[in-house]
C-alpha cells in the first residue's frame, strides 16, 4: 500500500507572519509541493493565528480543490481541537477531505498528546457525527495504545493518526527502536482490526520515516511539516518532497 504524503504548511505560515505582507506566499508553497508530488496539504490553525490564519484555510482548501481537477485524490486535511470556538465552524465552511481532531490547548506550541477517550469520548461523539454528515473523513490523534483503538472506532471515527513523538525521540537518542516500533505496530493492527485507517504524524523526518513505514505496512498517510520545512531550507521544496516520497518508498532517492 502506497503511503500518502500530506505537507503541513504551518511553519511556512509562521515565517510569513514574522513580517507584514505575504512572504513567503503560502499559496505558492502549497502549489509547489503539490506540483512536486505531495498528495495533499495539512494545516492546523490556532486561535491566536500565530501561523495559519482563518483566511488561509479557505484559500488553501480552494487550491486543493482546483488541483484535484488535475490530480484526482489530492486532499485537504484540517487539524484542530473541535472543542475550540473556531474549528467546527471552519470545517463547516470549507468541508475538508479529512478532519483530524487533536486535543491541544490553545497555547500549546505543538500537539504533544493523544485523546483520552474515557474522558473526552462523550463530547467527541456528536462532533464526529456532525463532521461525517458534512462529508469529512474523521481522524483522531491518538497515542500508540492498542487498547484504545476499538473505542476510537466506536465513537464513529474513520481513522486514527498515531502520535509519533515518542518514536522520533527514541530514534534521535539512538535507542533501540524495536520495542517502540512494536508498540506502534500493535496499535496499528488493533486499529485496522477495529475498521480504522491508520495515519501518523509528529517529528517524522527523512531519517526515521523508512523504519517506521516498514514496521506499519498498512499505514495510509503521514503528515509532515516542521521537519519538511527545515529540510526545504537546504534542499528546496521540490527536492524535499521528492526526498520524502523516496523515504516512503515511492520513488528512488
> Any idea which residues carry the catalytic annotation?
44, 79, 202
Which residue do the cell numbers 470545517 mark? Answer: 91
Angle in degrees, CA 132, 112, 171, rounded to 5 = 115
Taking each helix axis from N to C end, the angle separating 165-172 and 178-193, rounded to the nearest 10 degrees, works out to 160
3 touches 217 (CB < 8 A): no
16: nearest Cα among 64, 58, 61, 52: 52
128: nearest Cα among 91, 157, 152, 166: 157
Taking each helix axis from N to C end, the angle separating 87-94 and 117-133, rounded to the nearest 10 degrees, works out to 20
User: What is the C-alpha to C-alpha distance for residues 196 and 110, in angstroms, rounded to an integer?
Assistant: 25
Q: How far is CA 88 from CA 71, 122, 134, in A?
A: 27, 17, 11
Amino acid at each position: 500500500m502506497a503511503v500518502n504524503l500530506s505537507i503541513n504548511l504551518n511553519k511556512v505560515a509562521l515565517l510569513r507572519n514574522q513580517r507584514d505582507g505575504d512572504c513567503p506566499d503560502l499559496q505558492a508553497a502549497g502549489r509547489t509541493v503539490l506540483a512536486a508530488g505531495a498528495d495533499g496539504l495539512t494545516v492546523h490553525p490556532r486561535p491566536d493565528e500565530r501561523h495559519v490564519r482563518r483566511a488561509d484555510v479557505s484559500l488553501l482548501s480552494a487550491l486543493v480543490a482546483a488541483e484535484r481537477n488535475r490530480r484526482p485524490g489530492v486532499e485537504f486535511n484540517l487539524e484542530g481541537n473541535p472543542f475550540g470556538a473556531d474549528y467546527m465552524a471552519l470545517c463547516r465552511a470549507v468541508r475538508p477531505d479529512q478532519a483530524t481532531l487533536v486535543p491541544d490547548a490553545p497555547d500549546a506550541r505543538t500537539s504533544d498528546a493523544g485523546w483520552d477517550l474515557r474522558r473526552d469520548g462523550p463530547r467527541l461523539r456528536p462532533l464526529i457525527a456532525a463532521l461525517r454528515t458534512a462529508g469529512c473523513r474523521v481522524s483522531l490523534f491518538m497515542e500508540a495504545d492498542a487498547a484504545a483503538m476499538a473505542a476510537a472506532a466506536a465513537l464513529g471515527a474513520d481513522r486514527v493518526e498515531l502520535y509519533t513523538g515518542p518514536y522520533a525521540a527514541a530514534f534521535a537518542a539512538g535507542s533501540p527502536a524495536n520495542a517502540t516500533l512494536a508498540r506502534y505496530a500493535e496499535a496499528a493492527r488493533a486499529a485496522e482490526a477495529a475498521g480504522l485507517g491508520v495515519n501518523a504524524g509528529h517529528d517524522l523526518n527523512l531519517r526515521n520515516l523508512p523504519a517506521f513505514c516498514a514496521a506499519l505496512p498498512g499505514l495510509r498517510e503521514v503528515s509532515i511539516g516542521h521537519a519538511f520545512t527545515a529540510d526545504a531550507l537546504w534542499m528546496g521544496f521540490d527536492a524535499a518532497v521528492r526526498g520524502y516520497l523516496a523515504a516512503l518508498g515511492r520513488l528512488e532517492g
